[in-house]
Structure 1
């Protein structure tokens, strides 16, 4: 059997048995258990609201669109929307599917039960064998590595702070809280968040300089196109 056949065979098995390729370190499980032992009704609700701000990139897309209406922030808005689409898409559609890492609540030692801590419709909570609460909110059905909320939030916040510290600092604080909320809810391993943040920062910085390099070229091209259209309209 060729090496490629073996790899493909293993990949198929991995898709059927999520998380096959990950030797999950006990420190990550220990950390999540400790973190969830701190939960309380009020703080749970706070982090649920925070994590929901990152769902589908709602806070970042909305911020980007709002910035488009103001001349001073229009450029930032365009860059933020592009960042969310490109980097978020890269993570969700490529990296997650390559990594094939199971989320914490898919671990064989964990059983899923309804919980009194459920704070939204159709939500379920996850318990460990010792009864500790590990998460609430709608259970994601995709892979774990990298954390999508973390990548999108850190990437957009990084793009903002590269343009403006005034806008970027609050964005970074919110992004960090969103990333932490994924651990609080137990829907990601610590390394999903940590390496997701590193990936987001690194790629966003590269994208920032790439867009700056391409921006004048694109603007010149658009100017030429519109000038041609204007001339054609005048001639008619």
Structure 2
């Protein structure tokens, strides 16, 4: 049983309550939908209990650890769902934790079977890009300062977004309003980045940037 991504074409075009979990650039960040976060938390708690009891019996056959194989892998005190990206030299494996928008590297001996009951929930992290914004000077690559500032402003924050257009089925272009942490703070991330000289407005919903969702 494969794990499907959340289809952004099927999500509401009204305000969606979200939490930002990983930020790469203004046009490439990952979010969780707050109303469904508890389902992921419950699933990972169940997975952790299961692997704590039975993990030694579920070690993956190294010959079966191939690209696109679904695995369970321990990170800190919790077990996570992952998908193998590639085998590396030295018996290392690159794994995408698609519930969190992150990539990790682990020894092949850390790969465990992911049982079917943990494959029913869709991958919970969704990639988005901010609309009507691009690097200053219409450059196609975000400067490090803009990326670092966006990460500082956004990561672990909550707010509301509206989907303007889906990119394939797995990503989308959005407007984003943050929950304000002070009365003086702008709630619009776009306006904040522009006011700080880290981005500029464009009429197009999105342009191709690096890093970006397109």
TM range (shorter): under 0.3
Structure with bigger strand share is 2
Structure with bigger helix share is 1
Which of 1 and 2 has higher RCO (CA within 8 Å, sep 6+)? 2
Higher CA-based Rg:
1
